Amino acid sequence: MSHIDFQTDPARYRHWKLRIEGPIAHLIMDVDAQAGLFPGYELKLNSYDLGVDIELADAVQRLRFEHPGVRAVVLRSGKDNVFCAGANIRMLAGASHGHKVNFCKFTNETRMGIEDSAENSGQHFLAAVSGACAGGGYEIAMTAEHIMLIDDRRSTVALPETPLLAVLPGTGGLTRLTDKRRVRRDRADVFCSIEEGMRGKRAIEWRLVDEIVPPSQWEAKVAARAAALAATSDRPTDATGIALTPLTRGFRDDGLAYTHVDVAYDRLARRATLTLRGPHGLPADLAGIHAEGAAFWPLALARELDDAILHLRLNEPDLGMLVFRSHGDPARVLAADALLERHKADWLVREIRHYLKRVLKRVDLTSRSLIALVEPGSCFAGTLAELVFAADRSLMFAGKRGADPHLATLALSPLNFGAYPMSNGLTRLQTRFLGEPDSLTAAETRLGTALDAETADEMGLITVAYDDVDWEGEVRMLLEERASFSADALTAMEANLRFAGPETMETRIFGRLTAWQNWVFQRPNAVGPEGALKRYGSGIQPVYDQNRV
Amino acid sequence: MSHIDFQTDPARYRHWKLRIEGPIAHLIMDVDAQAGLFPGYELKLNSYDLGVDIELADAVQRLRFEHPGVRAVVLRSGKDNVFCAGANIRMLAGASHGHKVNFCKFTNETRMGIEDSAENSGQHFLAAVSGACAGGGYEIAMTAEHIMLIDDRRSTVALPETPLLAVLPGTGGLTRLTDKRRVRRDRADVFCSIEEGMRGKRAIEWRLVDEIVPPSQWEAKVAARAAALAATSDRPTDATGIALTPLTRGFRDDGLAYTHVDVAYDRLARRATLTLRGPHGLPADLAGIHAEGAAFWPLALARELDDAILHLRLNEPDLGMLVFRSHGDPARVLAADALLERHKADWLVREIRHYLKRVLKRVDLTSRSLIALVEPGSCFAGTLAELVFAADRSLMFAGKRGADPHLATLALSPLNFGAYPMSNGLTRLQTRFLGEPDSLTAAETRLGTALDAETADEMGLITVAYDDVDWEGEVRMLLEERASFSADALTAMEANLRFAGPETMETRIFGRLTAWQNWVFQRPNAVGPEGALKRYGSGIQPVYDQNRV
């Protein structure tokens, strides 16, 4: 069974080189033009497809876990004359709408991940731009805290999507221009309207780059700037990284099994059920966490859930619903949370918490209906309860099920109150209770308590509770009804309802910019037979319908 | 020449009745099913098309200007059994993508206008919902500060778009649910998934309505609530309204002439040039302003510009660029601004300022490229300078043009620093200078000064200055180049670049929600031959592509 695989490791990279020199890592983009994910295009000029970004995401992740001593990362190109030409146009022209949208979403998440490394993990990124840096290439550069541009009269930064391709700088470009780099809006308009890009003093004055450097001083200045960035880091100096060992996965026709996560497909009903298993043994202390490394349950679970979500997004577009179930001892999940809370100052525990945060955001941003079923025998406590709060609907079993002596319970831990902010900067509970802040305060007084369905319902923590008489019928009805709605209307509705409250650069990228890009990706001016994406490179001008909408 | 006309008056209303009883106005929706804007559909069950909303917008506007004594407005239905069934589905199914999008935009602006009346004009809206209130009907009700629902076991509120029509509650519905009424997200998901709507205690508990009232007490309670709302108003008790007299308009094949605004089309070049003329005489004092009424230059200009923008949006979709020019004495524009500033406590002046604010927002939200040309003889000062700051690009003439002794100047007034916030809550200058707050402070020290091109350029107030040698060629090149880009890519790019900085409910509606709705309006599940909009009412189920994107 052929599918897009999100697992890789440096030994298998085709497009990136990772060179580590003490506290400085060099992450070098050197795309193998012949190693595209699909046939039909060559990845010329360091242009990229999803496969290139899967390696980048892997490298960014490994830098955090495997290289605690790395304090600054220099993003650069391994090619002469070009930093990165952006997303590959022939790939975009040939890809389905769904692939384009999910490709952009993943690259956006990877870029947010780079910014998260700098902000929360003390791994600071520097973009050392030599050669043409266009479109997605400049969008990658903008994730760095500092952009250096070599002043060699050839190297430029550019966002030529609108004039050249009739699409947007849609993987964060427009938003980072105005929100992160705060480029004046009319200058941003000029910059996004010219194919050839900008360089020199004007690039500085317009805040497009932070520094221009003569070629004679280039390597020395890059090294000095990387060292200066590294000096601002709070990463440990004497720590040993842990290896992100290969995941154990079993692919079946009707699902996918990991160690702690099982994914079962019901293709006819168009859903995947993800069952998460709680921890069995847990280490006693911090040394034990480090000794377990990638096998430590919270980290292992995060990696498996992350991979499962990505697999479903890209390889199983027909499964429109993700049903979350869990199985295990809630007390042990709370014990795992207690470890994560007690040792949060440790660099590895910090990484695990931030990774869980990113995986949960990935769930929020997944355009599938999310349903959580809280049943007897489940362990939706603390970190796992976040999935209940991430769900569009959460159903909880009230009372006993047949002869089973267990009651379904939900439990909160300190990690539900700050460790896992959503893209909007709020916790899922804060977002949930925007209209009733008292409910949030009340929830915080019940830390660690096993809450039964009636209590969870009263506290507003679930959508609805059903007893043994109604459970099966109600669950079936919900799932059947949901599966009958238009996939697109659900995607758009969920994208709006999931993120109430404040906006951040992140929600603007995933909400506003992405929605506009999705729209543009549907329009004949971009994707029609005479559109710009199809005609790019053919020498024939695209034909546009110039009616304004 | 047949076109959609945005001018109307109560004597011509087909769909609304306005009944005024002292401080209370009753705005009664009673749609004439046979009086749709286009053939091919009947406006049954108080469903609406753009024509219905044009009358609503007119009524809301006249209430502010013509009825200073009205302190509360009761929105209600003139039909038994139905409050409003929302946008007419057959109209939507038959309309072009561009018409749908612009129809939604205008209805959104009208709804924002209702909220603006309550917030800034002391005219408080109450929705008295009796009968089914679905989709766009409930979206209208949600604009009110208070929603009363009659508890007659038949009357419900509903947002059935997703299950019924495969589109979104996209004219503010989803956003007002989460942001204004702060309905819990999973409850919002439930509510938006059921066709039949909600009523009774649950509608209150879920914050969908504010009050349910038994039929026997309905009229008395509505009257009491309206009186209570009226009591909170700061509107004058002894003022006389001014009449919003018919606009003087001359339609030509190649343009449209008002008293203070001329619109010239260049269809080949796909642009409209709007030339705004500054004031000649101005009243000496407040009494003079009231005496001039609708002829007072700032108000007359606002009405003409508003009508011109709407006309261009709906009737001239091929004109992708709006070029703003002006002609007149900048000192007189500043004198008009001084009147608006000196008398801002007066109810009429307050209305004029807020109306100018709304018209300028309408400009921001217009999906055409906006270009301002600041030339010798122009009068872009104060309020008119907002158009320069609203533009995607502003070009200013440096030095003298031929034998003309005038220099092009730009001037700021106090009104540029707070009177006209954009949808994001910031002034256009604040938005412009997000990345350089010092420039904002510096601008404020130059109030009233005639700034030449070099100075305006240095201060960051314009995009670029050209002298006599370059002006003509550069302007032509910009306009030609812009006209060659994809209309869709420009629309999406401008929608992202124009609104940097903070988000508000308004930007979320016009940015995120609208973009998703536009996307959905492109998808076959909604608009294809087997889609839900086309098959609605046919008795045949729609066929959906259930791939998730």
**Prediction ipTM score:** 0.95
| Residues present in chain A in total | 549
Q: pLDDT tens, A41-79?
A: 999 999 999 999 999 999 999 999 999 999 999 999 999
Degrees (nearest 5) of the Cα angle B75, B76, B77? 145
The amino acid that residue B438 corresponds to is D
Interface test with B, best of A189, A431, A459 (most B CBs within 10 A): A189
pLDDT (tens digit, 9 = 90+) per residue, B387-427?
Answer: 999 999 999 999 999 999 999 999 999 999 999 999 999 99
Query: CA of A438 to nearest chain B CA: how many angstroms apart?
Result: 13
> Distance between CA atoms of B476 and B472, rounded to whole angstroms?
6
Which pLDDT does position A419 carry in this prediction? 98
Average pLDDT over residues A391-408: 96
Chain-chain contact of A174 with B493 (C-beta, under 8 angstroms): yes
- Chain B positions touching A168 (Cβ under 8 A) are 489, 492-493, 496
Q: Do A512 and B515 touch (CB under 8 A)?
A: yes
Distance CA(B64)–CA(B239), nearest Å, equals 12
Query: H or E stretch including A482?
Result: helix A471-484
pLDDT at A1: 46
Q: How far is CA B396 from the centre of its chain?
A: 28
Write the secondary structure of A313-344 as one string of H (helix), E (strand) and C (coil). Answer: HHHCCCCCEEEEEEECCHHHHHHHHHHHHHCC
The verdict on a CB contact (< 8 Å) between A168 and B493 is: yes
| Residue of B461, B450, B455, B448 whose CA lies nearest to B414 | B448
In eight-state DSSP terms, residue A529 is T
B83 to chain A nearest CA, in Å? Answer: 24
Among candidate residues A156, A188, A189, the one with its CA nearest the CA of residue A85: A156
Smallest Cα distance from B167 to chain A, Å = 5
- Yes or no, beta carbons of A512 and B496 under 8 Å apart: yes
Q: Cβ contact (<8 Å) for A487 and B317?
A: no
**Residues in contact with B196: Cβ distance below 8 Å, sequence separation at least 6, in sequence order:** B156, B158, B160
Instruction: Tell me which residue in A317, A488, A495 faces B523 most closely, judged by beta carbons.
Output: A488
Give, as one character, the DSSP assignment of residue A198: B
The answer to whether the Cβ–Cβ distance between A392 and B532 falls below 8 Å is no
Residues of chain B scoring pLDDT < 50: 1
pTM for this predicted structure: 0.96
* Residue given tokens 């959503």 in the structure block: A422
Check CB contact under 8 Å for B184 and A392.
no
Q: How many CB atoms lie within 10 A of CB A253?
A: 7
Contact criterion met (CB < 8 Å) for A193 and B485? yes
The answer to whether the CB atoms of B435 and A182 lie below 8 A apart is: yes
The tokens describing B24, both together, are: 């209370």
Question: Position B165: which residue type?
Answer: L
CB-based contacts of A267, cutoff 8 Å, min separation 6: A254, A318, A319
Residues of chain A positioned with their CB less than 8 A from the CB of B463: 186-187, 189-190
Task: Indicate yes or no: CB of B503 within 8 angstroms of CB of A502.
Answer: yes
**φ, ψ at B176 (rounded to 5°):** -65, -30
The whole-angstrom separation of Cα A322 and Cα A301 is 17
* Separation of alpha carbons B359 and B387, rounded Å: 10
Residue range A472-503, pLDDT digits in tens: 999 999 999 999 999 999 999 999 999 988 89
Is residue B537 left, alpha or beta, with left meaning phi > 0 and alpha meaning psi from -120 to 50? Answer: left
Tokens of A278: 């709680």
The string of pLDDT tens digits covering residues B285-321 is 999 999 999 999 999 999 999 999 999 999 999 999 9
Nearest to A60 by CA among A1, A2, A120: A120
- Determine contact, residues B337/B415, Cβ cutoff 8 Å: yes
Tokens read off for B113: 């206008």
Shortest CA gap A101–chain B (Å): 6
Question: Cβ distance A136 to A164 under 8 Å?
Answer: no
Q: How many CB pairs under 8 A join A and B?
A: 281
Facing B186 at nearest CB: one of A394, A486, A516: A394
Among A392, A496, A533, the residue to mutate for chain B (most B Cβ within 10 A) = A496
Q: How confident is the model at residue A2 (pLDDT cuts 50, 70, 90)?
A: confident
pLDDT score recorded for residue B2: 79
pLDDT at B1: 46
Candidates B332, B339, B412, B324; CA nearest to B371 is B324
For A323-370, the pLDDT digits (tens) are 999 999 999 999 999 999 999 999 999 999 999 999 999 999 999 999
Q: Measure the CA dihedral A100/A106/A111/A114, to 10°.
A: -160
Interface with chain B: mutation pick from A497, A507, A521, highest number of B CBs within 10 Å: A497
- Cα distance from B406 to chain A (closest Cα, Å)? 26
**What DSSP string runs through B348-401?**
HHHHHHHHHHHHHHHHHT-SSEEEEEE-TT---BGGGHHHHHHSSEEEEEES--
